Amino acid sequence: MNSLCKRQTRQVFRNLASHQQHLLLACAALVIVGLLAFGWINRYFLTSEDGTWQRIQQSGVWRVGMDPSFPPFDLLDGAGQPTGFDVELAQAIAARWGAQVQIVAIGFDGLTDALLAGKVDSVVSALPYDPRLTEDLRYSSSYFEAGVRLAVGKESPIRGVDDLAGKRLAVEWGSAGDAAARKLQRGDPTLQRLTFPSPQAAVEAMLNGAADGVLVDGVTLRQMQGEGADLLAVGAALESNPYVIALPLAAYTLHEEIESALTDFVTTGFLNALENRWFSE
């Protein structure tokens, strides 16, 4: 190869190296700009005010969406006014802020849309946690577990699903409890699954000795306990269905205040007392 070709070849490689360096520098610059922008966005959102909380503080009113058709959580009293477990829970939370609760009656299917549209500040209405909406809403911790529970008589030696081998388990046919029982049965074929047309019938079968235990949802369980049924819930929920408070995604201060209230209500026993009162006869 003559000297001219060698010089031209070296120049080509120099040009390629130069282009690569410029490309790397450009990529590095984009990364730096992206990191700076991300940091700015984080600082903006972390330091911006919670508009929902500001409005509550300024007006002294917490607008709560509720469907008053699900006793004992949400219902109307003789005068047509909302009452129930959720109403008193919301009032107790608002009292900590020196605010009043304004109940906005909305059909259950429209509660989330009303919250997203800004028509209410929060939803307190026996609302189950929905992981599909966590990118659009904030949820509080659970204040009531409505999922499937194992219940037995208070004198029963059964203290959990591990004690169900060879036992008879009553369920409402086609319910979440039925599905949970089928799952348990696959793990232990000695378990007998007895189906009934309603959760009340399944509970009655257990109380009458036709079954050793019953799988029932948390609401029915507490209602029947409140009516005096000799029922004891044992173990954790087999299929969890927690009731939570929903609020706007940007309402981070409001979320902190609600969490603080719920934590205190558990510690002081207020939440348990509220549950006992509304599920008693």
Minimal CA–CA distance to 243: which of 161, 143, 152, 101?
143
Minimal CA–CA distance to 231: which of 217, 252, 249?
217
Same domain, 84 and 202: no
Same domain, 197 and 63: no
pLDDT of residue 174: 95
Residue type, 31: V
Mean of the per-residue pLDDT values of the chain: 87
Q: Say how many domains are in the chain.
A: 3
What are 43's two structure tokens? 């600082």
Same domain, 134 and 153: no
The pairs formed by 39-44 with CB atoms below 8 angstroms and a separation of 24 or more are none
Same domain, 57 and 175: no
- Tell me whether residue 173 is exposed, middle or buried, using C-beta atoms within 10 angstroms of its C-beta: 0 to 12, 13 to 18, 19 or more: middle
Domain, as residue range, for 123? 51-144+242-278
Q: Where are the beta strands (DSSP E) in the chain?
A: 61-66, 75-76, 82-83, 100-105, 122-128, 137-139, 144-145, 148-152, 168-172, 192-196, 213-217, 232-239, 242-248
What are 6's two structure tokens? 């060698």
Instruction: Indicate the pLDDT class of residue 185, thresholds 50, 70 and 90.
Output: very high
CA distance 227 to 98: 36
**Contact (CB, 8 A) for 168 and 194:** yes
Residue 3 in this model has a pLDDT that exceeds 90: no
CA distance 49 to 254: 11
Minimal CA–CA distance to 261: which of 84, 122, 55, 130?
122
Query: What is the per-residue pLDDT across 149-168, written as a single tens digit (0 to 9) for each?
Result: 999 999 999 999 999 999 99
Same domain, 132 and 255: yes
Cis peptide before 189 (omega within 30 of 0): no
pLDDT of residue 48: 67
Higher pLDDT among residues 249 and 6, named by residue: 249
Phi then psi dihedrals of residue 194, to 5 deg: -110, 125
Phi then psi dihedrals of residue 209, to 5 deg: 90, 5
Comparing 5-14, 97-106, 220-229, the range with the smallest average pLDDT is: 5-14
Same domain, 266 and 227: no
**Contact (CB, 8 A) for 238 and 215:** yes
CA distance 176 to 141: 22
What are 190's two structure tokens? 């000695």
Mean pLDDT across 85-101: 98
Same domain, 124 and 203: no
Comparing 15-24, 41-50, 96-105, 122-131, the range with the smallest average pLDDT is: 15-24
Residue 6 in this model has a pLDDT that exceeds 50: no
Query: What is the per-residue pLDDT across 65-92, written as a single tens digit (0 to 9) for each?
Result: 999 999 999 999 999 999 999 999 999 9
**Contact (CB, 8 A) for 121 and 199:** no
168-172 and 192-196 beta bridge pairing:
parallel
pLDDT of residue 49: 83
Can you give the CATH number for the domain in which 80 is found? 3.40.190.10
Distance of CA 239 to the CA centre of its chain: 13
Same domain, 32 and 58: no
